Amino acid sequence: MKRKGLVKKVLFYAAVSIAAVLGIAFTLVYVYQDQIIALFVTEANKHIKTKVEVEKISLSLLDKFPQVAVSLDKVNIVEAVPGSDASLAKLSKLYFTFSIWDVVRGKYNVNELYLEDGAIYVRVLQDGSVNYEIIKTDTTATANNDFAFDLKEINLQNVAILYNDLKLGQSYEADAHQLKAALAITPQFITIEANGDATINTIKISSGEYFKAKRVTLATRLQLERQKKTITLEPSVIEVEKAAYEVAGTINYAGTTALNLTLKGKNTSIQSMLSLLPQHITKEFNQYRSDGEVYFNGTIKGEVSPEKSPAIAFNFGCRNATFYHPDVKQRIEKLNFEGSFTNGAKQNSSTSALTLKNLKGSLNNRPFYGNVSYSNFKNPTIAFDLRGMVDVAYVLGLLQLEQVKSGSGLADVKIAFSGNFNEFKARPGNNTVNTSGDITLHNVNLHLADLPLPVNGMYGNFMFKRNDVAVSDFRGKLGASDFVLNGLFNNVMAWLLLDKQRLMVDADFSSNYLNFDQLLREDLNTPASARKSESGYRLEVSPDIAFNLSASVKKMQFRRFRGENIKGEVTLRNQVITTPNISFSAIGGNFAVRGSMDARQRNHIKLSTATRLNNMSVDSLFYVFENFNQDFILDRNLKGSLTANIISDVYLDSQLNPKTDLLEAEIEATIRNGQLLNFAPMQKMSAFVKRSELSNMRFSELHNNFYIQQRTIYIPEMDIRTNLSPLPSVSISGMHTFDQDMDYKIKMPLFQRKRPDKDSVFGVVAEDTDASNGMLFLTLKGKENNFKLAYDDDRVRAKIKDDLKKEGQEIKQILKGNKPVKKEKTVELEEGEYFDFN
């Protein structure tokens, strides 16, 4: 019990003592705060030669307890550049601390500095002067023995550090999250030991950007020799991306800065090494990861100035490593290579070189081998060779290309390439690049982002020679269509690698089946972002492709059209397709076409053709071409065999919609063994001929020239000899617009003496010179579904006038004793009278 009481007493008196001490301390701080602050300001003004703006200065025992702190709120330190008002530092809080016992003794020794929540702006100007020389004299010497600056530690918390060297064209940006630097200052040396966490936002050197947005951990020790102006960096470690880099060496800044540094990687990976390189070089690979042994070491030696750069040499590589994308299962395994980088004899981009030697690895248990070099970064020359059997799906999964959604199959690759990129860009010819080797495809399938129609079953060999590729038996399927190509592809590398380069193809093309319904459908040949509709067609001819093709196609299809045995020569130049001789079989007969398609204006495609049709089935022709967008005479109304010569200019937009107002055509047509079946205008003639006969009017041959212009079909007068005994011949002429307005003139015999004709198929044929022959003149006007037959006043008047003239001539002949000629009778009807026959 006595012991318990003793412990309680000890604790009580200890607490009372601490409270007393704290009370005394707070009292002293409160009593002497104005004196301490005044001493601080006086001493600071002796050492700082630039303007410092402070919103508030106070003394605190709690902020940095157990140290007493001189607290400066909202501090702005102006940079040490004559005439400049720019800031060297802007901080929310700045603390200078000293011991509580200094207050008791009246002697103040400031040994710690805290910078919090702000930014420091360090600059090196074009003339080499700096903006951070704000101290007038050595901080270890002071005329006032009551107050002294003897900094041994600097702490940064949430402070952005921005360094900009205008002379060297370099800039550095970092955020110090929690960084502590211990200082040991003597008249000869300043020793700094720094530890902490920071984020390097960027390091910009010339056009390169390094360490972008990298979290780093620092553990460094350096010694600055004041007189010699030399910094000795003891082995220090910077951790980046879970890798550590050891840095050691010297930096001399007595005159021009000279570096002698060594770097060595520990626990490095491919991605951590990539993080050291410029962003524009590594951005395509930043998401990739690696496992396995990766090594890295190098040196930086020489002068650093606007005119000179130090010599940089690095060696790196990997042994039995794995390289992969974190979002996919595919990996490059058993990866080995030896790499090096140097900035060369002149220590600049023009002599820089990057090489990867003895590259080998495994893709899906298939080995590959290669070498890569990239020299002269200012005017790059690239060389590589690669060989191996490549699994297409595996490689696409690894590379994650946006242009290719998926793929499969194998590609046997044996290829080498070398060339200067800028020379190649300036003169993309065979002398600027050297490509050799070949690639053989084995059942390769691709689904491309810009081509919804899949490309399947590709086989073939591609042999590379400089800028060209010889193609042997390249075959495959594009949707339902198949193709086989053999020939030469010129300017391939330029077309693949550069903009606005033309690929020239000189080849034989063959196919068993081409489905233009698929090939021209907009939703199957156009990316979704560029489509105008989901159900229409789209035709665009690239200005970057030219070809000479000798084509042979067994079957083709477009809508209702079916063609067979298509053969001919096709040429493409400057978005104009021409052919001198395409022939094919279709609709029971033969086609022969020559002409051109001009697609230079995307929405104004011009088709100029001369076509020969031979023995076409007329009803099938009307069916295939969907009755030519009219319903006056349909495929079920007309039969026969058509032979025609057609010269036409047809205009389309990019979705294959015809511009009918611009259509022009001249058609010389002959229909043999024709039949007119259940044709509505003929049914109107039932007053003269039985309906049963009118329902199937036959004619042996019809020949005429037709003209199309300004949406109108013009039909010159033509005679049709029929099998109808009351109407052995009919004469028709007129015009028919695309809006289905009709204006026809019809002439037919009213009375007829008949005689049997030797042609039994066409029954009774009229004798042209029968004396009892009378003619009926009619007009047919109106719409296809609303037309009328009427008496043709104008033609009757013209006929009467002509007959009177002939009669006068006959009278003269009679008076001369000549025998009169039989004349044609006309039927006289009331003017404007319509025929409404049932």
Per DSSP bridges, beta strands 366-375 and 381-391 are antiparallel
Question: What number is the average pLDDT over the span 27-45?
Answer: 68
DSSP single-letter state for residue 442: E
Q: Are 36 and 70 in contact (CB under 8 A)?
A: yes
CA 544 to chain centre: 15
Residue 690 is predicted with a pLDDT of 61
- In whole angstroms, what is the distance from residue 42 CA to residue 244 CA? 45
Q: Which two structure tokens, joined as six digits, stand for 377? A: 């970064």
- 238 vs 477 pLDDT, higher one: 477
Question: What number is the average pLDDT over the span 593-604?
Answer: 92
Q: Are 247 and 236 in contact (CB under 8 A)?
A: yes
Which residues lie closer than 8 Å to 785 by C-beta, 6 or more apart? 631
Q: Quickly state the pLDDT bin for 81 (edges 50, 70, 90).
A: confident
Residue 253 is predicted with a pLDDT of 75
Q: Quickly state the pLDDT bin for 8 (edges 50, 70, 90).
A: low
* Element housing 663 (H / E): none
Residue 2 is predicted with a pLDDT of 54
Per DSSP bridges, beta strands 729-737 and 87-98 are unpaired
Among the listed ranges 51-65, 97-111, 187-201, 800-814, which one has the minimum average pLDDT value? 800-814
- 734 vs 359 pLDDT, higher one: 359
Whether 661 shows a pLDDT value over 60: the answer reads yes
Q: What is the pLDDT of residues 547-562, one digit of tens each?
A: 999 999 999 998 888 8
- In whole angstroms, what is the distance from residue 662 CA to residue 649 CA? 8
The answer to whether the peptide bond before residue 66 is cis (omega within 30 degrees of 0) is yes
Residue 555 is predicted with a pLDDT of 94
φ, ψ for residue 560, nearest 5 deg: -85, -10
Whether 65 shows a pLDDT value over 60: the answer reads yes
* Element housing 12 (H / E): helix 2-47
- 328 vs 502 pLDDT, higher one: 502
The domain segmentation of the chain, as residue ranges, is 1-167, 705-838
* Element housing 618 (H / E): helix 618-624
Q: Are 498 and 508 in contact (CB under 8 A)?
A: no
- 693 vs 509 pLDDT, higher one: 509
Share of the chain above pLDDT 70, in %: 77
Q: Which amino acid is at 532?
A: K
Residue that the structure tokens 């900094």 belong to: 151
Strand partners, 101: none
Residue 755 is predicted with a pLDDT of 43
Among the listed ranges 291-300, 384-393, 560-569, 781-790, which one has the minimum average pLDDT value? 781-790
Strand partners, 153: 112, 182
Q: Which amino acid is at 91?
A: L
- Report the SS3 class of residue 146: coil
Beta strands in 166-281 (DSSP E): 170-185, 189-205, 208-210, 214-225, 230-240, 243-252, 257-266
Whether 124 shows a pLDDT value over 50: the answer reads yes
Q: Quickly state the pLDDT bin for 478 (edges 50, 70, 90).
A: very high
Q: What is the pLDDT of residues 690-731, one digit of tens each?
A: 666 666 777 787 888 888 888 888 888 887 777 666 667 778
End-to-end Cα spacing for the chain: 139
φ, ψ for residue 772, nearest 5 deg: -85, 5
Residue 457 is predicted with a pLDDT of 95
* Element housing 826 (H / E): strand 825-826
φ, ψ for residue 367, nearest 5 deg: -75, 155
Residue 766 is predicted with a pLDDT of 35
- Report the SS3 class of residue 524: helix
- In whole angstroms, what is the distance from residue 242 CA to residue 237 CA? 12
- In whole angstroms, what is the distance from residue 93 CA to residue 72 CA? 6
Pick from 645, 539, 523: which is nearest to 590 by CA? 645
Residue that the structure tokens 């410092």 belong to: 52
Question: What number is the average pLDDT over the span 254-275?
Answer: 79
What's the predicted TM-score (pTM) here? Answer: 0.68
Spell out the alpha helix ranges (H) of 354-464.
Answer: 392-399, 421-426
Q: Quickly state the pLDDT bin for 386 (edges 50, 70, 90).
A: very high
Q: Which two structure tokens, joined as six digits, stand for 467? A: 């800028």
Q: Quickly state the pLDDT bin for 207 (edges 50, 70, 90).
A: low
Q: Quickly state the pLDDT bin for 74 (edges 50, 70, 90).
A: very high
- In whole angstroms, what is the distance from residue 613 CA to residue 450 CA? 38
Residue 800 CB coordination number (10 Å)? 12
- In whole angstroms, what is the distance from residue 587 CA to residue 782 CA? 32
Spell out the alpha helix ranges (H) of 462-561.
Answer: 492-497, 516-519, 522-525
Phi and psi based region of residue 158 (left: phi greater than 0; alpha: psi -120 to 50; beta: remaining):
left
Per DSSP bridges, beta strands 503-515 and 311-324 are unpaired
Whether 144 shows a pLDDT value over 60: the answer reads no
Q: What is the dihedral of CA 454, 456, 460, 465, to 10 degrees?
A: 20
Whether 140 shows a pLDDT value over 60: the answer reads no
Question: What number is the average pLDDT over the span 9-27?
Answer: 52
> Three-class SS string for 25-75?
HHHHHHHHHHHHHHHHHHHHHHHECCCEEEEEEEEECCCCCCCEEEEEEEE
